[in-house]
Amino acid sequence: MADKTTCCADEPGEKLFCSINKAFIVDPDIDEVDIIPCLHCEGEQGSEKEDAFVVENHKLGIRSWCIKPLFLFSYNKLIRSRLKGRKDCNLTVTESVQLTRAVLLINAECYTAWNARKEMVTSGVLSLKDDWKLSGLVLSKHPRSAETFAHRKWIVTQLEKHEGSGEFIRSYLKNELVISLRAAECYADNYTAWSHRAWLVSRFMHDQRKKLLCELHAMRVWAEKHVSDNCAFHYRQCVLKHLKSVCSKTEMLHLLLSELEFVTDLIWTFPGHEVVWYHRNFIYHVWNQWFADVTFDTLHEIASSTSKDSDFNGKLGRSSSSIIPSLTEFDLGSRLRDHGSETFASNTSPLSTPSEIRFCDSVIAKCEGPVGEVQRRCALNYKRRIMLRNASNSLKCTRIILDDWKTTTAS
């Protein structure tokens, strides 16, 4: 719907409301909004010195001094119009669209404004695409807004209903994924953005093997740059769970070994990040849940039989030769030696409790300095978790846990 303005402003808030509407008329392709700090301005004096709104390269800047009067005017007028029996505040469709827009650009959690827009979309006076565009604009300023993502989920459902799932995937899904990732970039540990992306995957990509593999690979690069973002790693876990239902056992073995190598590299390269250790705990858990019966002998048989599978390994973004040699990190020969009272033979699972304890010990042995102390604590906590998982079957595990705890407490 095109913007129109027929304002005859008498108060500061109304003048600002007219001005922001004119900004959208001049540039209807505004795709980003932010607040411009203006500490030297106070109240109406600011409007005399400089423009309240700045539009450049499709970016809208709102001076901080005009936030309060603009919001109070827009919000109060919107609320009055929705009160039953207030016939003196009936709004035109254009006014309703403009008022809700002004309110949401400042306060994205105003569900009254979002509900008003839902009503306009349902009645056919506001297009889904225009509402979809506005929600993306709001997220550029409020990337963690739960109400905005909830409304956007409703828009996605409506677009799928009206245009079909196939058309939505072709025309809208890529943009939706971009919006969620942009929101995640703007705010660390953005649970709402990653939850929205996970919902998109479960709804439109859960049975698309190729798309899921591409998503896992693309988010690997993102995770490398945001090692402390727990939500990003949790999202990877969701993608891996979906892949289990569409990939063969051999493919999932490759994926989990690749993920294990990835998280091992992160632990050594970026020491002291607890999130990475939690992700390793996930890999350990699903491996022993899905592939507890897979031995090293079986693994090497699979490796030799799939070394020519360039199609699958190409989707992983790496060759099979780069995945399987990483098994040397597990030190196969050492598993034939005694470790305490336990002996590990060639039929031991590569992600068994003993193998992970050995890895933790190797990390702890190399911890130095303040960062090393954090890394040591992470490794000890992970070691305790995996040992407690088998504590009921091993009294020795319990004794080691207590010894580690006493050592940590003493230090």
pTM score: 0.83
Question: Using 50, 70 and 90 to split pLDDT, how confident is the model at 44?
Answer: very low
Higher pLDDT, 310 or 90: 90
**Does the pLDDT value for residue 409 go beyond 80?**
no
Q: What are phi and psi of 96, to 5 degrees?
A: -65, -45
277-295 pLDDT, tens per residue? Answer: 999 999 999 998 888 777 7
What is the percentage of the chain residues whose pLDDT exceeds 70? Answer: 76
Element (H, E) at 338: strand 338-339
| Arithmetic mean of pLDDT, 96-106 | 97
Give residue 209's pLDDT band: very low, low, confident or very high (50, 70, 90): very high
Report pLDDT digits (tens) over 372-388.
Answer: 999 999 999 999 999 88
- What is the C-alpha to C-alpha distance for residues 111 and 128, in angstroms, rounded to an integer? 17
- Measure Cα distances from 123 to 79, 93, 118 in Å: 20, 11, 9
289 vs 393, higher pLDDT:
289
Count Cα neighbours of 312 within 13 Å in the Cβ-side half-sphere.
Answer: 21
Strand partners, 338: 343
Q: What are the pLDDT digits (tens) for 125-182?
A: 999 999 999 999 999 999 999 999 999 999 999 999 999 999 999 999 999 999 999 9
Query: How large is the C-alpha radius of gyration of the chain?
Result: 28
Nearest to 369 by CA among 271, 276, 273, 275: 271
User: ∠ at Cα 96 (91, 100), nearest 5°?
Assistant: 145
At 221-275, the pLDDT tens digits run 999 999 999 999 999 999 999 999 999 988 999 899 899 999 999 999 999 999 9
**Which residue carries 């990483």 as its tokens?**
326
Cβ–Cβ < 8 Å for 13, 98: no
pLDDT score for 42: 54
Give the pLDDT of residue 82: 84
| 45-55 average pLDDT score | 69
- The token duo for 268 is 């050594």
The Cα 257–Cα 330 span in angstroms is 11
pLDDT confidence band for 7 (50 / 70 / 90): low
Token digits of residue 142:
């409020």
Confidence at residue 390, expressed as pLDDT on a 0 to 100 scale: 74
Q: Using the predicted structure, report yes or no on whether residue 26 has a pLDDT greater than 90.
A: yes
185, 225 contact by CB (below 8 A): no
Determine what percent of the chain is predicted with pLDDT higher than 90: 66
pLDDT in tens, 330-387: 333 333 333 333 433 445 567 888 889 999 999 999 999 999 999 999 999 999 999 8
pLDDT mean over 305-318: 49
Nearest to 18 by CA among 32, 3, 29: 3
Mean pLDDT of the chain: 83
Quick count: other Cβ atoms within 10 Å of Cβ 368?
Answer: 10
CA 251 to chain centroid: 25
Q: Once rounded to an integer, what is the mean pLDDT over residues 184-195? A: 96
Contacts of the segment 2-11: beta carbons below 8 A, 24+ positions apart: 2/28, 3/28, 3/94, 3/97, 3/98, 4/94, 11/69, 11/73
Integer Cα distance of 245 and 247 in angstroms: 6
Residue that the structure tokens 């008022």 belong to: 99
pLDDT of residue 47: 46
